[in-house]
Structure 1
Amino acid sequence: MDTNNQPLRPVQVVLDGDRFLKTPDRPPGGSHKDFFAGDDVGFAQHKNRVRADLEGFAETLQERREPVGFVHVDMRESALAKSHRPLDRLFSASNKFTLVGGDADGQLIVQGTPRALKELSDLIEERAESTPRMVTNKKTGREEPRASEVRSELGAIGDLRLHTREDRLKFDPDQALAILRQPNVIGSYIIDLFRLDPSLLSSGAVTKTIRALLGALSAVPGGMIVRPVLPEPLRDRLFQPTLALSVRLLSNPSRRVLQLPRELEAAIAEAGAPAFEGIQLTAAEAAADLDPARHRKLLNALAEQTLVRSIEMPFVVDEGTSPSIPLGAKASLSLPAADFDHPILGVVDGGIAALPALTPWIAGTLGLVPEAERNVSHGTFIAGLAAGAYQLNPHLADYVEAQGVKLYDLDIFPRRDLRSTYYIDHHAFLDQLDTCIEKARSKHGVRVFNFSFACGGPQPGSYTVYAEGFDAIARKHDVIFVISAGNLTGADTRPPWPADAGAAVQMLAGQSQPQSITPPGEAFHGLTVGAVNPPGFADHPVLLPTTYTRRGPGTGYSRKPDLAHIGGVTPDTATGNRTGLSSLAPDGTVCDSLGTSYAAPLVGVTLATLDQRLLRRASRELLHALMIHQARREHSLTGKQLSHIAPEFVGYGVPPRADAMLVDDPSAITIVFDQVLPAGRILEFDFSWPQSLVTPAAACRGAVDLTVVYTPPIDRAFNDEALRVELDAHLRQQVIDPDTGEISWAGQLDADGTSTLQGMLKREKEMLRNGVKWSPVKRLHAAMPKGRGASSDWKLVVEPLVRKGDVFPGTGVKFAALLTIRDIAGMAPVHDEMRNHLVNRGISLADIQVAARVRQVAA
C-alpha cells in the first residue's frame, strides 16, 4: 500500500504504562574476577604495595595530627564496571570507610581514619590469599581457581594516594587576581568541601576538622563573606547537595559574614563558630579586596585544610563578542495574533530594547536592571530571532518555526563593567536567577528559558557549581534551559568544515587547542546548542559545524551539545560577506551577527512551541526526548569516518519544527512512555513487529529509533560519575534455539554515533565514550532493510543500574521513552497495523495532544 498521499498520523502515548512495570528476574550470582589470574607473583607485589600505601597514609595523618583523611582509589581500566568497586570487603562501612566522592570515571575518594587505614592493611594481609583456592566447576567437573572477594577487590585497584595540598590548590594566586580585576567577574573563590560521614567518626574528630577550617578562615584578618554557593531553596531539590562555599575578600575590614552549609550546623555550633550575620551589603561594603598578600594567605591556609577538597578560581560571566554588521533597513515584524495563545520564551540576558517591532511580542519584563545600566545588543538580537526569525531570514524558512514566540525579558545582567557590583558572589547570582525563573514560571507560565552566556571558561569533564545550580532550578520549577555551547575566538577558531568527510578528519587532526563547551553547558537537564552553517555559502557547507562552535562531550562523556542550529558564518570583511543570520539591533534596524548565542534561541523557539502545542502539561523528560528523537545530522556527518566525532560538535543534530515532532507518516508509528520507574521495577513492553514488515521467513524489516530521557539523582561530589542512577534501554528480538527450543532475547540497536550493536560494546570505557552508559539522554537506532532475525516477537526494556555505594531513590526516576518503527521505503501501513495490534491487546493509547488534555484534566 502506498501511504505517501495519506494524512499524517499523531504520535501515540501509552496511558497505562504502569501495567508493563514488573519485578526483574534476579541473575544468579557469579564468581569474583581475579585481575591477577595466573600471576600470583604479580599479585603478591601488588598486595605489598597497597599495604605500604595504606600504612604510609596512616602515618602521614598521624604526623599531621589529622583525625580523618581522604584517599583516592583509582580503578584499573579493566575494573571500571560497578561490580568491581572495592566497597564491599575493603573500603566498606564495616571497616570504617565511607565513599565520599570521585573524579574521573573509576576514580573514587573514600573517607578513613589513621586507625581504619592501618587495620585495613592488616585485613588485606590476613584475607587476600596469595593463591586462589581450587573448586570444582559443577557444569564441567573440572578443578578451577576461584578468587575470594577480598583478592578480587584488591586486584581491581590500580593506584592509591592521599588527598593533599596539590589536589586542593592548582593555580597561582596571581592568576586569580587577574580574573578578579575583570569587571564582569563574580568575585569569589569556590571552595569545595568533603561531605564528612560523622557516623564513622568520633564527635571530637568532626569538631576538630571543622574547627580547623574555621580557624583557617579566621586567620585571615579583614573583611570577608563566606556562604554556600547554592541558596537553601535550591539545596533542598538535589539528591545530594554540594558542600561548596563562596569566599570573597572584602576591602571593608569591618564586615565579616560566615555561613556554612546546614549539614554542618551541629558541628559548627559545637566548634564555637560565630553567629550568622545578615548580608545586606552596600556596593562599597561589598567591594573586593585585591591585596595579593591577603589572597595568598587565604589560599595557603585553605590548601592545608583536610575538609577542603578543591579551590576554584572566580568565574567571569560573559556573553562573548560577535561582530555585528548593520544593514540599515528598519525592521518590521508582523503582530502577534490576537486570538492565539502564543508560546513564550524566557530570555535570560541583559535586557531587550523597547522597539516598536518587538514591543507587541513582549509578554513581560522583570525590570531588574535600570535602562542606564543595560547593554541590550545581545538580548535584542536573540529577541528578534525568537519573534521573527522566519521573516528576517527567508532563506532559513526550511529550518525555523514559521511563527514567532512571545518573550519574557529576564534582564538579570547589567552591562559588563557593572556585573561584579550586582553579584558579589555565586550565591547571589544563583539566588537571583532562581527568584526570576520562579516569577516567570508562576505568573506567565514560562517553561523554556534561553541562556546564551558563559559562566567561566571551559572546564573539560567537570560538573561545575553553575551547572548544578541550573539543574537544581530546572528541577525545582519544572523548566528547561536552552544553553549556548560557547564560541571559539581569534586564532582558536577552526578552518571551515569541509564537505568531504576525509578532509574533515584531517582538519580536526590538526586542532590541538582546547575547544570544550563553556559552563553551564554541561548541565544534565538543559539542552545545550552548538552552531551549524546557514545555506548559501560555498566555503561553509550548509548544516556543517561552524568554525567557532565549541565541542563536547560533557561530564562523564554525556552527549554535549545536545542539539545544533544555524548560528551564522564568520564574515569576510574583504568581500563584505554577511553572516547569513539576521536579527535586530538596539536602534531597530536589521543587522547580521553570529554565534552559538544565536543558535540557541532557534532551538528555544521550537521547544517553547512544542510545550505550547502540548498545553504546557508535558513532562520535562518528554519535551526533552521529543526534541532529541527526530533531530538529524547532515548526511556527511553520519558516515563511518565522522559518526563518532560529529556528535561532539552538533549533538544529535538539528531538530525539526515542533509540529513535525508530533506526527508520523502513515508508514511509521511513534509510541511514547512517559512515567516514573519505581524502585525495584523494570519496564518490559512486549509487542509484535508490524506484519507488513515481516518476511515469509519471519525476519523483521524496517528501521527503528529509540530515545530515552530520564531525571536521575545527581551528586556533584562524584564529578564524572555525578549521575548516580542509570536507566538502560534495550529493544530485543526473540531468538529460539533450533536444537533445544530455549528462548533468549537479542538486542538489536546500535548506539548513536556508532555502527556497533549495543550489546557488542563490552569494555566499560567504550560504552561510556559512546553514550551507551551513564548518560541521561540516549538515542539508539537500527536499519534492517533486508530483515533481521527469525521472530516477530519483540520487547522494549528500560531497566535501572545503581552506582556501587548508592541506592535507587524511593520516589522512583521519571523518564520518557520514544520508540519509532518505520518502513524504510515509506510504503507499508505501519501506523495503522501497529496501533490496531496494541489496541486489540487492550492497551490504552491516545494521540499525543489528546493525552496532554487527559493529563490536564487529571491534574
Structure 2
Amino acid sequence: MTFVYFFGEDHSKQSNQFEKIKGRIKIKFFDFDNEFDNQQITEYVIGQLSAFGFSEYSNISYGLNIKYLKVNVNSYSDIVKLSSINGIKSIDLFQEYSFIDNGLKKTGSSYNQLQHYEKTDTQIGIIDTGISQSNQLLQNAIIAKESFVPTAYQNNTHATFIASTIQYGNELNGIKESNPKEFKLVDIAAIPNSDSSTGPTDTIGEDELMEIIETIVKKYSYKTKIWNLSIGIENQICDGNISDFGAFLDYIQAKYNVQFFIPSGNYSNYKSRTWPPSQNNEYDRIISPADSIIGLTVGSLALYDSKTSIVKKDQPSPFSRKGPGTGYTVKPELVDYGGNISHSDSISSLGMKGMDINGNITEGIGTSYSTPRVVRKFATIYDEMIEKDLLLSKAMWIGYTN
C-alpha cells in the first residue's frame, strides 16, 4: 500500500494547486534491508515511471539509507498512477522554506558595547538568511561568507538577530557573564525573504537546502564544528517516525562530525499555553527537523514578565513546542530564554533583545532566538577544551543543566 500524505478527498480543488507543487513530488521506496532487493525495486519503479510516461525525475540520495525520487507531475491522475506502482512506499512533497518575520520591534536605542570580549578561534556556522553587511560589529567576526540567495531576495533580519544573540545576547539582555568570549562566524545565506513589504519574495526547496547544507558542511567541517540552524516545518509535527529532514541532519552530523542546534519550533495557538498547561494535546509537539536524534533541540523560557504576560519569568514560553521526539526520545534536551508575550499579543518589554541589520536594538520572540543562546554556551565549553571533543561538550552541557 502506498501512502499519499498531502491530498484530501476534494480532488478538483486540489488539482488547482498543482502549479505550485507539480515539480516537488517526493517518492520514497520500501526498504527491504537487502542491497540486491533494494536495487531491484528501484530499477523496477524507474521502469514503471517510463512506462507511465514520466520523463522528468531525478535521484536524490545521501549515504545508504536516504534515497528519494523527485518527480514532475501535471495532474492528480498522475499521483494516482504513481500510487499504483509496487515498491513505492510513500508520495509526499519536498517542503519549501523562506524567512518569516517574527515581529521584531525596535526599542529605539543603539547597542553600545560595554564589556570586553575575549576573541577566540572557535568557529560557529549560521545557516540562515545571511548577516547584514550594514552591521559592522558583527561583520568584524565573520571569517567566511557564502550566499545562495540573490541579493534582491535577501532579508537579513533573522540571521542578524541570531548572530547578535550568539555574540552579545547576554549583555543586550542584562544577563551577567564573566569573561565573555567573541566567536568567529561562518555566515551562510540560504533562506530567501517571504515578506513582500521588504522586497521580492522567494522560497527554497527542501532538496535544494539539503544540497546546500552538505556542500557547506563538507567544506567547513574541518574547523567549523558548531552549527545554528533556526528553521522548522510547522505542518510536520513529530509523530512515530523521524522526519526526512531530521534523518538527513543526523546523516550530516555523523558523517562530518559536527553538531547542529535546532529550535523546537513555535506553536501558533499560544494563548492557550499557560503554565501549568490547562490542556494537553499532540498539536504542540516539536516539528521537523527538531526531531533529529543527534542534533540538540532547544525550547524557550520567558526572561521577562508583566501583569498581562501569558507566563511568568523562568516558565516555559507559551509558544515553545514540547516533546517527546521520535521513539519517545527526550526533546527538547535544552531550554533557554526566548521571550514571552502578553494576552493582547504584545511583546513590548517581554521579548529578547538583539540587533537589527543596522546595529540598533530590537525585541523578538521565538525558539529561533533561544537556540543561539545555547549555541553560545556550548561553544564556550568547547573553546575551553585542550583536546576538542563535541560529544564530551554535549555530555558536559546537558549534564550541567540537569
TM-score greater than 0.5 by the shorter chain:
yes
- Matched to 1:418, the amino acid is D
Residue 331 to residue 210, structure 1, CA distance change in 2 (3 Å): closer
Residue 578 of structure 1 is matched in structure 2 by 349
Q: CA deviation at 1:511?
A: 4.2
Match of 1:648 in 2: none
Letter in 2 for 1:245: Y
Report the CA distance shift for 1:197/1:361 in structure 2 as closer, same or farther (over 3 A): closer
- Secondary structure of 1:497's counterpart equals coil
Indicate yes or no: 2:365 matched with 1:629.
no
Q: CA deviation at 1:311?
A: 1.9
Cα distance in 1 for partners of 2:248, 2:361 equals 35
* Match among 471, 484, 493 for residue 270 of structure 2: 493
Question: 1:324 — aligned with what?
Answer: 104
| 1:480 matches 2:259 | yes
Distance 2:346 2:32 in 1: 62
Asked whether the 8 Å contact 1:319–1:454 carries over to 2, the reply is: no
Cα distance in 2 for partners of 1:197, 1:536 equals 53
Report the Cα distance in structure 2 between the residues aligned to 1:557 and 1:614, rounded to whole angstroms. Answer: 32
Secondary structure at the residue paired with 1:405?
strand
Q: What is aligned with 1:527?
A: 296
- C-alpha separation in 2, matches of 1:476 and 1:495: 41
Counterpart residue number, 1:136: none
- Taking the TM superposition and a 5 Å limit, the aligned residue runs for 1:556-575 are 556-571=327-342
Residue aligned with 2:332, SS: coil
1:584-620 residue CA offsets vs partner (Å, 9 max, x unmatched): 11232111000000000000111111111114621x3
Match of 1:820 in 2: none
Quote how far apart the aligned CAs of 1:574 are. Answer: 8.3
Separation in 1 of the partners of 2:298 and 2:116? 27
**Paired residue secondary structure (2:103):** coil
Name the SS for the 1:466 alignment partner.
Answer: helix
Query: Which residue of structure 2 lines up, in the alignment, with residue 390 of structure 1?
Result: 170
Asked if 1:194 is matched to 2:30, the reply is: yes
1:446 to partner: Cα distance: 1.3
Check whether the contact 1:316–1:456 (CA below 8 A) recurs between aligned residues: no
Residue 240 of structure 2: SS of its match in structure 1?
A: coil
Q: Secondary structure at the match of 1:227?
A: strand
Change (3 A) 1:325 1:197: closer
Instruction: Sort the Cα spacing of 1:224 and 1:365 in 2 relative to 1 into closer, same or farther, 3 A.
Output: same
Q: In 1, distance between residues paired with 2:364 and 2:245?
A: 27
Q: CA deviation at 1:382?
A: 0.4
Q: TM-score, normalised by structure 1?
A: 0.42
**CA displacement, residues 461-496 of structure 1 (integer Å, 9 cap, x when unaligned):** 22122111111111121110000111011xx21445
CA–CA separation in structure 2 for the residues paired with 1:576 and 1:450:
24
The 8 Å contact of residues 124 and 186 in structure 2, kept in 1 or not, is answered as: yes
- Tell me which of 190, 193, 209 is aligned to 1:412: 190
CA contact (8 A) 1:441 1:447 kept: yes
Shift of 1:409: 0.5
Asked if the contact 1:381/1:585 (under 8 Å) is kept, the reply is yes
Structure 1 residues 278-293: aligned runs within 5 Å: 291=74, 293=75
Aligned 8 A contact 2:304 2:350 in 1: no
Given that residues 346 and 410 in structure 1 are in contact (C-alpha distance below 8 angstroms), is that contact kept between their aligned partners in structure 2? yes
Number of equivalenced pairs:
389
SS in 1 for 2:59: strand
SS where residue 621 of structure 1 aligns?
helix
1:768 — aligned with what? none
What do you get for the CA RMSD once the two structures are aligned?
A: 3.1
Cα offsets for 1:243-273 (capped at 9, x unmatched): x313231xxxxxxxxxxxxxxxxxxxxxxxx
Matching residue of 1:363: 143
Tell me which residue corresponds to 1:306: 86
Deviation for aligned residue 1:200: 9.6
Deviations 1:101-151 (A, max 9, x none): xxxxxxxxxxxxxxxxxxxxxxxxxxxxxxxxxxxxxxxxxxxxxxxxxxx
- Residue 226 of structure 1 corresponds to which residue in structure 2? 58
1:518 is the counterpart of 2:287: yes
Distance 1:181 1:599 in 2: 37
Distance of 2:54 and 2:86 partners within structure 1: 24
Q: Could you say which residue in structure 2 is the equivalent of 1:381? A: 161
Q: How does 1:605-616 map to 2 (within 5 A)?
A: 605-615=376-386
**Where in structure 1 are there 5+ consecutive unaligned residues?**
1-163, 250-288, 499-503, 633-859
| Equivalent position of 1:733 in the other structure | none
Contact 2:263-2:367 at 8 Å conserved across structures: yes
Please state how far the C-alpha of 1:373 moved relative to its aligned partner: 2.3
Q: Which runs of 5+ in 2 are unaligned?
A: 195-200
Distance 1:522 1:216 in 2: 34
- Tell me which structure has the larger Cα radius of gyration: 1
Q: Could you say if the C-alpha distance between residues 610 and 486 of structure 1 is closer, same or farther in structure 2, counting changes exceeding 3 Å? A: same
Give the secondary-structure state (helix, strand or coil) at the position aligned to 2:91.
Answer: strand
CA distance in 1, matches of 2:394, 2:220: 20
- Which residue identity lines up with residue 419 of structure 1 in the other structure? T
Question: In the alignment, is the contact (CA less than 8 A) between 1:318 and 1:455 conserved in 2?
Answer: no
* Gap change, CA 1:206 and 1:486, over 3 Å in 2: closer
Partner in structure 1 of residue 197 of structure 2: none
In the alignment, structure 1 residue 241 sits paired with structure 2 residue 65: yes
- Pairing of 1:437-836 with structure 2 (within 5 A): 437-442=217-222, 445-455=223-233, 457=235, 458-489=237-268, 492-495=269-272, 497-498=274-275, 504=276, 507=278, 510-512=279-281, 514-537=283-306, 539=309, 540-571=311-342, 577-615=348-386, 617-618=388-389, 620-632=390-402
2:341–2:351 Cα contact (<8 Å) kept? no
Q: CA deviation at 1:559?
A: 0.6
Tell me how far 1:206 sits from its aligned partner.
7.9
Match for 1:169: what amino acid?
V
Cα deviation code 1:736-760 (max 9, x no counterpart)? xxxxxxxxxxxxxxxxxxxxxxxxx
TM-score by length of 2: 0.86
Distance change in 2, residues 1:617/1:513 (3 Å): closer
Q: In structure 2, how many angstroms separate the alpha carbons of the residues matched to 1:361 and 1:199? A: 47
Match of 2:181 among 403, 407, 414: 403
CA distance 1:552–1:537, change in 2 (3 Å): same
